Amino acid sequence: MNIIFIEPSFPYNQREFVRGLHQAGATVIGIGERPQEHLADDVKGWLSHYVQVKSVVHEPSLLRAVQQIQGRVYVDRLEATVEAHIMAAAKAREAAGIPGTSVRTAYLCRDKPAMKEALREAGIPCAQSTRAGEPQEARDFAAQVGYPLIIKPPAGAGASGTWKVRDGKELERVIWECGLADGAEVAIEEFIEGHEGYLDTLTIDGEVVHEFITHYYPNVLEAMRERWISPQMVTTNRIEASGYREVREMARNVIRILDIGTSATHMEWFAGPKGLKFSEIGCRPPGVGQWDVYNAANDFDLYVEWASALAHGRPQRAPSRRFAAGMIALRPSCDGRITGYSGLDDIQQRYGDCIVAAHLPPAGSPTQPVEGGYMANAWMRVRHPDYDALRQIMNTIGETVKVHAA
Tens digit of each residue's pLDDT (9 = 90 or more) over 112-171: 899 999 999 999 999 989 999 999 999 999 999 999 999 988 866 555 578 999 999 999
CA-CA distance, 395 to 175, in Å (whole number)?
A: 37
Among 190, 211, 230, residue at a domain's last position: 190
What single-letter amino acid sits at 201?
A: T
Mean pLDDT of the chain: 95
- Grouping H, G, I as helix, E, B as strand and the rest as coil, residue 183 is coil
- Grouping H, G, I as helix, E, B as strand and the rest as coil, residue 9 is coil
The string of DSSP letters for 90-135 reads: HHHHHHHT--SS-HHHHHHHH-HHHHHHHHHHTT--B--EEEESSH
**What's the whole-number mean pLDDT along residues 376-403?**
98
Tens digit of each residue's pLDDT (9 = 90 or more) over 94-107: 999 999 999 999 99
| pLDDT of res. 158 | 53
| Phi, then psi, of 292 in degrees rounded to 5 | -70, -35
For the whole model, what pTM was predicted?
0.93
- DSSP H or E run through 36: none
Task: Classify burial at 399, counting beta carbons within 10 Å of its beta carbon; exposed 0-12, middle 13-18, buried 19 or more.
Answer: exposed
Residues 78 and 139 in one domain: no
Residues 54 and 163 in one domain: no
**CATH, residue 221:** 3.30.470.20
**How far, in Å, are 10, 199, 278 from residue 248 at the CA level?**
32, 8, 11
Closest of 350, 373, 268, 371 to residue 359, by C-alpha: 373
Is residue 116 situated within a structural domain?
A: no
Residues 354 and 217 in one domain: yes
| pLDDT of res. 161 | 78
Residues 185 and 201 in one domain: no
Residues 76 and 136 in one domain: no
Residues 82 and 143 in one domain: no
| pLDDT of res. 226 | 87
Among 167, 190, 213, residue at a domain's last position: 190
| pLDDT of res. 243 | 96
Among 190, 209, 240, residue at a domain's last position: 190
Is residue 179 situated within a structural domain?
A: yes
Closest of 72, 82, 95 to residue 33, by C-alpha: 82
Residues 143 and 205 in one domain: no
Residues 263 and 293 in one domain: yes
Residues 387 and 239 in one domain: yes
Per the structure, the count of domains in the chain is: 3
Full domain range(s) for residue 318: 195-405
Is residue 107 situated within a structural domain?
A: no
Tens digit of each residue's pLDDT (9 = 90 or more) over 226-265: 899 999 999 999 999 999 999 999 999 999 999 999 999 9
Residues 203 and 291 in one domain: yes
CA-CA distance, 74 to 67, in Å (whole number)?
A: 10
**How far, in Å, are 145, 159, 187, 195, 318 from residue 171 at the CA level?**
13, 18, 13, 25, 48
Residues 185 and 303 in one domain: no
Residues 183 and 309 in one domain: no
